[in-house]
Structure 1
């Protein structure tokens, strides 16, 4: 009887499950050889396994990120100058990474010497994008592009990938990449209009985003049930 029930469920849902399963199988595969990472990249969107991480970052701080990658004298090692802007304040930091085949690891971390590091580049149909999964204490999925914005179809594919990994709905980063006309962290004015006038609105948006992404997460469970039913069907044969 249990087997019969599974069969009935699967037959009714197979048409829904199969496309999603095939999409996940493709998107979750690491690339065989990563792209040339030299040059400028923009952080377009990110997702996480913790709802508050992306919601707090994007709704309260509204940051924009730009990454300039240069080579070093050491093979497979690169310097990444990361620029960030929020509330009209800009800052930057240079971090060195090991980049080889399809993995990226910050120099000086245990991942640098692991054969199976946390930072892995995944497939994407976006030709000038870099989709990176980092499975640390907090799991992240980010998409960078040579362009400040990507198309709706490219963003949709990124959302599907986040869903395949059971992550929360991706948050889109700000696109204000003027890093010349801004203050430095040492010259922050807490009384500036950008902070005093916008902060209450942004706090309200944080709670709204937390509610929205938490609600969206509940939709994962029906999809998980569909996938479970599909696996049960496959195991019957």
Structure 2
């Protein structure tokens, strides 16, 4: 689900988890079945070690929501993900397949995801490895059935991020209003990026990875988007 370039916010002091707690906080859990993923989710927060994601998300991304629905195969589902950026809406659809307690995705990017424990009763916590160009990155996402999680639930997520040695998380802003699904109103315009990402030339993805890995590259991307 890491199609969107998300940022990290400053982790408040005192929230890092004691070493003894990290095994518990980052325990992998069994996927009971695909039904537990189906429905509508709000992306509450995310952390990734992809260089350059911090400033891009802080500058441009408001919020993200997703709708997960069954595929024809019993071991797969589709994820329709909608991002609000610049006050506009952008969507990406992906397909994930469950194999040996791990979710696998090939398009628009290659990724694997596993479930991590959380005390939030209506949340899922996804730990991912995904490839951009020639680089492999790690990330973790907190999804909830609600518009937002509680302060205690977010504090737990921040401790889990610290345990995984990832940058402090980007917390998305549900108060700015979510995009619709693109079908509720003729006035809603959602740009679908699925084909563009799936058909992107490998050399382009490699060049994008190189840009995101350097300060000069990030400056170039910011200038391009701003123009």
TM-score, normalisation: structure 1: 0.61
Q: For residue 23 of structure 1, report the CA deviation from its aligned partner.
A: 1.8
Pairwise CA distance, 1:42:
0.8
Residue deviations 1:28-75, cap 9 Å, x none? 211023560000011110112246313421x11123111101112211
Larger radius of gyration: 1
Alignment of 1:152 onto 2:146: no
In the alignment, the residues of structure 1 paired with residue 21 and residue 118 of structure 2 have an alpha-carbon distance, to the nearest angstrom, of: 11
Q: 2:113 aligns with which of 94, 119, 124?
A: 119
Moved more, 135-144 or 171-180: 171-180
Secondary structure class of the residue paired with 1:147: coil
Which of structure 1's runs of 4+ aligned residues deviate more than 6 A? none
Change (3 A) 1:87 1:96: same
Larger helix fraction of residues: 1
SS at match of 2:84: strand
Tell me, in whole angstroms, the C-alpha distance in 2 between the residues paired with 1:63 and 1:43.
11
Find the aligned partners of 1:185 and 1:75 in 2 and give their Cα distance.
29
Instruction: Answer 1 or 2: which has greater strand percent.
Output: 2
Partner of 1:42: 42
Pairwise CA RMSD: 2.9
SS in 1 for 2:73: coil
Of the candidates 114, 126, 129, which is equivalent to residue 132 of structure 1? 126
**What SS is found at the alignment partner of 2:77?**
strand
**What is the aligned residue count?**
165
Question: 2 CA distance for matches of 1:182 and 1:173?
Answer: 21
Contact 1:46-1:54 at 8 Å conserved across structures? no
Counterpart mapping for 1:44-63 below 5 A: 44-50=44-50, 52-57=52-57, 59-63=58-62
Q: 1:49-128 alignment to 2 at 5 Å?
A: 49-50=49-50, 52-57=52-57, 59-99=58-98, 102-107=101-106, 118-128=112-122
1:175-197 per-position Cα deviation (integer Å, ceiling 9, x unaligned): 121426654459xxxxxxxxxxx
- Which region of structure 1 is more displaced relative to structure 2, 158-167 or 97-106? 97-106
Structure 1 regions of 5+ residues with no counterpart?
A: 1-18, 112-116, 187-237
Aligned to 1:143: 142
Whether the 8 Å contact between 1:34 and 1:101 is mirrored in structure 2 is no
How far residue 92 of structure 1 moved from its aligned partner, in angstroms, is 1.6
Q: What is the match of residue 198 of structure 1?
A: none
Q: Which runs of 5+ in 2 are unaligned?
A: 1-16, 131-135, 193-227
Counterparts in 2 of 1:108 and 1:66: CA distance versus 1, 3 Å: closer
Once residues 158 and 34 of structure 1 are traced to their aligned partners in structure 2, the CA distance between those partners, rounded to angstroms, is 22
Question: Kindly tell me: are residues 34 and 48 of structure 1, through their superposed partners in 2, closer, same or farther at Cα, counting changes over 3 Å?
Answer: farther
